[in-house]
A = this chain, B = another copy of it.
Amino acid sequence: MSGLRITAVPGVPEVRAGADLVELFCAALDGAGLDVLNGDVVTVTSKVVAKAEGRVVPCADDEEAKVALVEREAVRVLRRRGTLRLTETAHGFICANAGIDLSNTEQGTAVLLPVDPDRSARRFRAELARVRGVSVAVVVTDTFGRVWRNGVTDVALGSAGLRPVLDLRGTTDGNGRVLQATEVAIVDELAGAVDLVLGKSSRTPFAVVRGLDASYFGEGSVKEHVVRSANDDLFR
């Protein structure tokens, strides 16, 4: 558990509804002379997942129309400030503007979140295993703000083949004492790590992470393990 290599996969064309993301990933990989191996993690931005799944909707290019779309798509609005809405989505994510994206889209359109990003990750994983014969984990990433810190970071909206939150409770530290509660959201750390090499262009939606400890792989989903129930949080 000493080294991690994160590589962006360049050369991906604009993604349209119905696109085969695994095919696009493999073509870009081959075109760049890169490879994907057993035990790698492949990440894909939720935006291209959503586009491929046809989650592009018409939206007039004015603030009023955008806010109306956000309020329709959100299951709950927690806070309003100007045109910003802090929302809960149907998935249970708490994020700005129901996760709807207006950049990197064609004029007059907006991109909603994928309906079920964990399912999208599972499908990508299964299809990649089928066409390339490799067993990898997959993380679907997106960009969220934080309540008490400036700046956005990428987090995981969906995953497959990973233990999204790694429970280190009960393991002992250097002094033989049992560690305090330490459940590490490794899927979110992976998403943020990959963002450091992706930049913000839509043309590099994929990255490959190599060298993740074998113990991090396993079963789980973001919806089940990362999304916090309203009962557990202190601010709903």
- Report A's interface with B, CB cutoff 8 A: 1-8, 10, 14, 79, 81, 86, 93-94, 102-107, 143, 146-155, 164-166, 168, 171, 173-175, 177, 179-180, 182-186, 188-190, 192-193, 195-197, 199-203, 211-213, 216, 225-228, 232-236
Contacts and interface: CB of A to CB of B under 8 A. Distances in A.
A2 to B, nearest CB: 5
A144 to B, nearest CB: 9
Contacts of A213: 199
Nearest to A143: B182
A197 B7 contact: no
Contacts of A149: 155, 185, 188, 226-228
Mostly helix, strand, loop or mixed at chain A's interface?
A: loop
Contacts of A175: 104-106, 202
Contacts of A190: 196
B233 A147 contact: yes
A234 B86 contact: yes
A48 B167 CA distance: 23
A150 B234 CA distance: 12
30 contacts: A1-B8, A3-B5, A3-B6, A3-B197, A4-B4, A93-B148, A102-B180, A103-B173, A103-B177, A103-B182, A143-B182, A147-B233, A147-B235, A148-B233, A148-B235, A149-B226, A149-B227, A150-B225, A150-B227, A150-B232, A152-B183, A152-B184, A152-B185, A153-B188, A153-B189, A173-B200, A192-B192, A193-B193, A197-B211, A199-B213
Contacts of A104: 173-175, 177, 179
A197 B79 contact: no
Contacts of A197: 1-4, 211
A168 B151 CA distance: 11
Contact of A192 (B8, B103, B183, B189): B189
